[in-house]
Amino acid sequence: MLPRMSRASLEELKALPTPVRPRLDAADVWVPDGYDVEPVVAGLSFPCAICFDADGTMFVAEGGSTWPTRPYMTPRIWRMSPGQDPEVFAVENLGGPRGMSVRDGYLYVSVKGGYHMRVTRHDLRTKERVVLVDELPSGGWHEPGGPVFGPHDGLMYFSNGSVALQGVVVPEGFTVDLAKHPHAHDVPGQDVTLTGNTVWARDPRLPFPFYAESGPFQPFGTAVTKGQVVKGQLKCNSAVWRSKPDGSDLELLAWGIRNPFGLAFGEDGHLYATDNDFEEKGERAVGEDPDRIWRIRNAQLPPGEVKEPEWFGYPDLCGDGLPLWHEKHLPIRGKAAEPFLADPPPWAGPAAYLFEPHTALGKLAFSRSDEFGHRGKAFVCQFGTYAPLNSNREKYLRNGFQVVTVDFEAGTHEPFMRNRAGGPASATPGSGGLERPVDCAFHPDGRSLYVLDFGNNTANKSYVVAYAHTGVVWRITKR
Amino acid sequence: MDGTAPGHPEGPYVLNLTRETWNEHLDRASTWLANVVTTQAAFRQALEIAVPKVEEPNIRRFLSEMLDRAQRHEEVAHRLPRVLGREAADGARSLAGTVMDVARKALDTVEGLAGGARGNWKDLHHLLLLNLDAMGAFAIAEQLGLALAHAELRDLAWAVEAEKSTDQLILQELMLEMAAVAILYGEKV
């Protein structure tokens, strides 16, 4: 059956056939005075990325296999041009698109799937697809970010999150699908010497849950020894790179960022990367780790001039720069972490901004419009917590589920879009509001912000489920 | 303030959410769900055939308890299309009528790993395969629940899938425990 995009009335959106998201109603969504909000697309499956071309064409990517990895729905990119019917512009293979940018007649896409993350380029006219960068180690938990283009140098910037959930591959990262990618592991951006600490976990792949010993930067079930050196690689993960737009002259800017899912340049010229905190569960549990946004200073250097990549702490430091095993970060559930790196590189923090733990940062966009307002501020999607799965602290249960503005200079943030009742719509019976904001993008007319809502993605103490056909695009317009 | 916008004059877009399209999805899903009934009924009937032949009291108790669960799971299988607002497909009823033959043939003729072994030990191996088949069908029903944004379908299927996963471990354990004496000494279960 071909996908069908058709028009509906706002009234019809209040009686949708999807039981876990039976209605959409902007009246349940709060935005500041002077702004209007409305749903503009409904029924998307696991959408991960949104962007615009200069003519107002909107691209929306459905992520395919996401969080968790099942069910897999078609990973595809929609093109919605003004005055034309929406069309499926591209279909990816198993895995799916995670980030997009349009530049000079091409759509650039970061894609996850299999053992590698890659960056592809699609000709907007012919739809020809070319792989620009490949073989970036993936196949695990965290996400690609970008690509975005440097306003100062025209280079392409992109990122790749860690394979492991907690610095070592363990069954706690169950939805990374250990069976599909048994050889996946983290790769450092610089040579590191290991302490020899490992974790013991039961191996869910075997007929009986035998114990397996695993060390950092190794596949599950592979131990390490004290003093073991793991060579740094250009193609690593938990990292940020830049290259020419054709993928050549790849240069590593930073590593040690657990999940650099959101990348954006601010009006101040700096490159910012969102990052998510460690989780409070399992064999290497961490408590009270703040979500954060990093400023990648190496992005300011001329191409080819980066002497050392910046290191932001993964797998051993929290967002505040304290070690995972610091008393402030001891977990109330799970086994506390031990150090992995015997000779950690200098820390490139502090973070540009720290948020409460478990807001689960998605992507971000900067306002460059006086007409829309908040010029210079970042609009940051807070996807929303997976508590009580990833932490059993009661206070985190409603963290996130909103878009906030961040003023880096003032060191403050404010809610910009959230449900009137707080939390996700699915937590409030009858609500037609927001579920999980994952990405946002400004329309080139400078009047509207489009917020991509991943849809119903519900966690309990044991697992998380995601429901297809519940993703939404919301538009917020300055009145 | 009320931040609700007047909306696009042509209205928002919906993807595959028109009643017509959605009904097509539900029809396809409910038609497929007949397979859950068929596979689960085959497993239940195979248990009904196998249990009376078991002499070892502990194994008989394990399998009898499993049969109780299998009957309950089969009732859930029949409910799955109904939660989508559909009756069980005609095909499911007619297929269910042939299930007894399927189960009997599975127990009587399928050789596989059990080839050459005497007695009813091979029943355990066949039950293992039949439960795997039915467990997979419930797992697919769970995926359909997730794809159709239907929590009730998903939850019903997942709860059975979880219990059948435990049953699968029990069957595997019983089959392996008895393997050596069945093959070497020709002992019955």
Which domains are present in chain B? 19-185 (1.20.1260.10)
Taking alpha carbons only, the member of A266, A265, A235, A264 closest to residue A252 is A235
For residue A433, the one-letter residue type is G
Judged by CB atoms closer than 8 Å, whether chains meet at A6 and B172 is answered as no
Contact residues of B toward A, CB < 8 A: 1-8, 10-19, 21-22, 24, 143, 146-152, 154, 172
Across the range A269-282, mean pLDDT stands at 96
Residue B3 is predicted with a pLDDT of 45
Across the range A338-347, mean pLDDT stands at 98
Q: Is the pLDDT of residue A369 over 60?
A: yes
A240/chain B closest Cα distance in angstroms = 34
Q: Is the pLDDT of residue B96 over 80?
A: no
Residue A244 is predicted with a pLDDT of 98
**Minimum Cα–Cα distance from A477: chain B residue:** B5
Judged by CB atoms closer than 8 Å, whether chains meet at B10 and A42 is answered as no
**Minimum Cα–Cα distance from A448: chain B residue:** B5
Across the range A75-96, mean pLDDT stands at 93
- At A409-454, the pLDDT tens digits run 999 999 999 999 999 999 999 999 999 999 999 999 999 999 999 9
Q: Is the pLDDT of residue B188 over 90?
A: no
Please report residues of B whose CB lies closer than 8 A to that of A44: 15
Evaluate whether residue A5 is within a structural domain. no
Domain count of chain A?
1
Evaluate whether residue A287 is within a structural domain. yes
CATH number at residue A123: 2.120.10.30
Best of B2, B4, B8, B14 to substitute, by most chain A Cβ atoms within 10 angstroms, is B14
Rounded to two decimals, the ipTM of the complex is: 0.95
Q: What are the residues facing A202 on neighbouring strands?
A: A211
Judged by CB atoms closer than 8 Å, whether chains meet at B16 and A3 is answered as yes
Mean pLDDT across chain A, nearest whole number?
A: 96
Q: Is the pLDDT of residue A174 over 70?
A: no
- At A122-131, the pLDDT tens digits run 999 999 999 9
Evaluate whether residue A6 is within a structural domain. no
Residue B30 is predicted with a pLDDT of 96
* Contact predicate A188/A217, CB 8 Å: yes
* Contact predicate B83/B153, CB 8 Å: yes
Q: Give the C-alpha separation, A112 to A160, whole Å.
A: 9
Evaluate whether residue A142 is within a structural domain. yes
Q: Is the pLDDT of residue B2 over 90?
A: no
**Residue A393: other Cβ atoms inside 10 A:** 18
Q: Does A44 touch chain B (CB under 8 A)?
A: yes
Residue B115 is predicted with a pLDDT of 57
Identify the band that residue B112 occupies on the pLDDT scale cut at 50, 70 and 90.
Answer: very low
Judged by CB atoms closer than 8 Å, whether chains meet at A10 and B22 is answered as no
**Minimum Cα–Cα distance from A426: chain B residue:** B151
Query: Domain range holding A148?
Result: 14-478
**Minimum Cα–Cα distance from A466: chain B residue:** B146
B31/chain A closest Cα distance in angstroms = 16
**Minimum Cα–Cα distance from A71: chain B residue:** B143
For residue A102, the one-letter residue type is V
Residues 6+ apart with CB under 8 A from A397: A385, A387, A388, A423
Lowest mean pLDDT among A52-66, A210-224, B106-120: B106-120
Q: Give the C-alpha separation, B16 to B19, whole Å.
A: 9
Distances B53 to A83, A184, B49, B64, B171 between C-alpha atoms, Å: 72, 48, 7, 12, 16
Please report residues of A whose CB lies closer than 8 A to that of B5: 26, 36-38, 475, 477
